[in-house]
């Protein structure tokens, strides 16, 4: 349900979205996709592969990718040093459509 909502929000905001049901599917999609992938939006907890594990695997394939983690669980720490290397951006669920779009733009836009 959250995945479908996030997809709709991002498509309405003008983003192209590649969608996967789980981490393994996302990794395969990343391997097959010929064009650029600028950002990975992933839940911290998913079936078959965690979000951090997925981010590490995809970062090996696409070094330029930016990552936004999301979670409804506050006990998952984005502040671990190895997580900071992968992503400095985290959004807490539930989030509003505006908050999601803002987080994505902030992550994609280089700091000046």
Radius of gyration of the chain (CA): 13
Predicted TM-score (pTM) of the model is 0.86
Lowest mean pLDDT among 3-17, 43-57, 83-97: 83-97
Nearest partner of 68 among 12, 1, 112, 15, judged by Cα: 15
| All structural domains of the chain with their residue ranges | 2-108
pLDDT (tens digit, 9 = 90+) per residue, 26-65?
Answer: 999 999 999 999 999 999 888 889 888 999 999 999 999 9
Strand partners, 42: 69
Write down the pLDDT at residue 79: 47
Write down the pLDDT at residue 66: 93
For residue 22, CA distances in Å to 10, 14, 45, 82, 106 come to 18, 23, 10, 22, 25
| 2-108 CATH | 3.40.50.2300
Q: What is the DSSP letter of 70?
A: E
Strand partners, 43: 70
């Amino acid at each position: 349900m959250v995945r479908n909502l996030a997809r709709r929000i991002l498509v309405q905001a003008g983003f192209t979205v590649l969608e996967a049901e789980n981490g393994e599917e996302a990794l395969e999609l990343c391997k097959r996709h010929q064009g650029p992938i600028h950002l990975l939006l992933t839940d911290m907890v998913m079936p078959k592969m965690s979000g951090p594990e997925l981010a590490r695997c995809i970062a090996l394939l696409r070094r330029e990718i930016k990552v936004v983690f999301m979670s409804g669980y506050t006990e998952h720490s984005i502040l671990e040093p190895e997580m900071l290397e992968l992503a400095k951006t985290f959004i807490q669920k539930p989030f509003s459509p505006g908050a999601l779009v803002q987080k994505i733009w902030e992550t994609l836009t280089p700091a000046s």
